[in-house]
């Protein structure tokens, strides 16, 4: 150990103060350059490693299988379509029903328990509810958080309900 120390030790009289200063400045400049060079090359890597809010969110989001998402979407679309077709078939069946019994008399039965006191009719064959012109509360939207009021026209067979009502009075 002492041998190594002896070798490394620079005798004070060999290097002048100016030379030493120059050497120190050169070394410090070289170190500075090397370090800044390292950081310059590390920069993009450090930037990639940095935890941005986006990356934290992405890391905390559970993995979602795109195939599963696509399948669920397909199935939802299909059931929506099926439901739509069923509704259309049901509406067509009701529209085609003459609301007549075996004796060719109106099969429509009157209903009086509505709060607006207007009579309704129901056909026991097709289960069609025959309503007057009335307001109905539809699903809420952005402007109508309590539900959207929609004025519906009278059912095409409401005239029959009015006639039956007049006859029964
Ligand atoms: Zn009917």
C-alpha of residue 131 to centroid of ligand 1, in Å:
13
Give domain status of residue 18, yes or no.
Answer: no
Q: What is the pLDDT of residues 102-155, one digit of tens each?
A: 999 999 999 999 999 999 999 999 999 999 999 999 999 999 999 999 999 999
* 158, 122 contact by CB (below 8 A): no
49 domain residue, yes or no: no
Query: How far apart are the C-alpha atoms of 110 and 120, rounded to whole Å?
Result: 6
Q: How far away, in angstroms, is 6 Cα from ligand 1 center?
A: 116
Cβ–Cβ contacts within 10 Å for residue 104, how many?
Answer: 8
In a domain, 93, yes or no: yes
Q: Specify the DSSP class assigned to residue 143.
A: S
Is residue 117 assigned to a domain? yes
CB-based contact 122:129 (threshold 8 Å) = yes
Instruction: Write out the residue range of the structural domain in which residue 89 sits.
Output: 66-168
Q: Is residue 143 part of a domain?
A: yes
User: What residues sit around ligand 1, an ion, with C-beta below 5 angstroms?
Assistant: 97, 99, 123, 125-126, 128
More confident residue, 15 or 67: 67
Gap from CA of 165 to ligand 1 centroid (Å): 17
What is the pTM for the complete model shown?
A: 0.55
Total domains in the chain come to 1
The band of 13, judged by pLDDT with boundaries at 50, 70 and 90, is low
Q: Is the pLDDT of residue 6 over 60?
A: no
In a domain? residue 3: no
Query: How many CB atoms are closer than 10 A to CB 120?
Result: 21
Q: Quote the ligand 1 centre to 13 CA distance (angstroms).
A: 121
Overall residue count recorded for the chain in this entry: 169
Q: Given a cut of 80, is residue 70 above it in pLDDT?
A: yes
Query: Per the domain annotation, does 85 fall within a domain?
Result: yes
């Amino acid at each position: 150990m002492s041998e190594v120390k002896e070798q490394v030790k620079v005798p004070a009289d060999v290097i002048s103060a100016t030379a030493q200063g120059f050497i120190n400045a050169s070394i410090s400049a070289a170190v500075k350059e090397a370090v800044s060079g390292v950081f310059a090359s590390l920069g993009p890597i450090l930037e990639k490693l940095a935890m941005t809010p986006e990356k934290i969110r992405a890391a905390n989001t559970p993995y979602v299988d795109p195939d599963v998402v696509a399948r669920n979407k397909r199935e939802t679309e299909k059931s929506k379509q099926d439901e739509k077709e069923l509704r259309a078939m049901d509406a067509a069946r009701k529209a085609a029903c003459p609301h007549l019994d075996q004796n060719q008399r109106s099969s429509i039965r009157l209903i009086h328990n509505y709060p607006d006191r207007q009579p309704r009719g129901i056909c026991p064959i097709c289960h069609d509810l025959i309503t007057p012109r009335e307001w109905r509360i539809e699903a809420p939207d952005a402007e109508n958080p309590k539900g959207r009021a929609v004025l519906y026209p009278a059912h095409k067979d409401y005239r029959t309900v009015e006639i039956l009502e007049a006859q029964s009075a």
